[in-house]
Amino acid sequence: MSDGKSAGARVAARAATALAVFVILGGLVLLLDRDNIYGWAKALHIVAVIAWMAGLLYLPRLFIYHFETAPGSKASGLFKAMEARLFRIIMNPAMMLAWLLGLFLAWHVYAFQGGWLHAKLLLVVLMTAVHVYYGRAMRAFGRDERPKSQRHWRIVNEAPALLMIGIVLLVVLKPF
């Protein structure tokens, strides 16, 4: 059991190191490349959104596989660890960075103006609600509960993809 905890500690240390590097790079950008803050913010926003989306698309797939395991089994324990790490170490920081940088861009570039931007923000709020829903399900699986059904998770797995399509269309086309 100590190997699991030490492995978890190593993963947490790597995540903290990656976050520290990200913050240091952000600080260097502010100091050294102030003229291109928009470009950096946009690029890092896109990276954060990609990481967040990867988690939103993968976590329900883990729930489907987890659903097939016996509660309390070794396989169930492995899925609990995978789900928790994905959610806490990748998805949560990526969501926070996506929001932070996205709000900066909405304010700095668009001054929160434009119907397309308001519609996009609504879809991002819905994406965040999906994230929160997945977090609650992850905690339920962590208690060896089996919330909903495999079919439910197969259907819910499509929600982030549909929201992402809407967001990308709004950002690229700016229809209103």
CA distance 154 to 134: 13
Q: Is the pLDDT of residue 4 over 60?
A: no
Which residue matches tokens 């976590």? 59
Burial of 122 (0-12, 13-18, 19+ CB in 10 A): middle
- Name the pTM for this structure: 0.84
* pLDDT attached to residue 171: 96
* The residue to which tokens 């959610």 are assigned: 87
pLDDT at 1 over 50: no
Q: What is the pLDDT of residues 37-89, one digit of tens each?
A: 889 889 999 999 999 999 999 999 999 999 999 999 999 999 999 999 999 98
User: What's the token pair of residue 7?
Assistant: 């492995």
- 3: pLDDT strictly greater than 60: no
At 113-133, the pLDDT tens digits run 999 999 999 999 999 999 999
Place of tokens 């102030």: 34
Long-range contacts of 120-123 (CB under 8 A, 24+ apart): 120/167, 120/170, 120/171, 123/163, 123/166, 123/167, 123/170
Average pLDDT over residues 152-165: 96
User: For residue range 17-27, what is the model confidence (pLDDT) as tens digits?
Assistant: 877 887 787 77
Per DSSP, helices labelled H in the chain are: 2-32, 37-67, 74-85, 92-108, 115-142, 150-156, 159-173
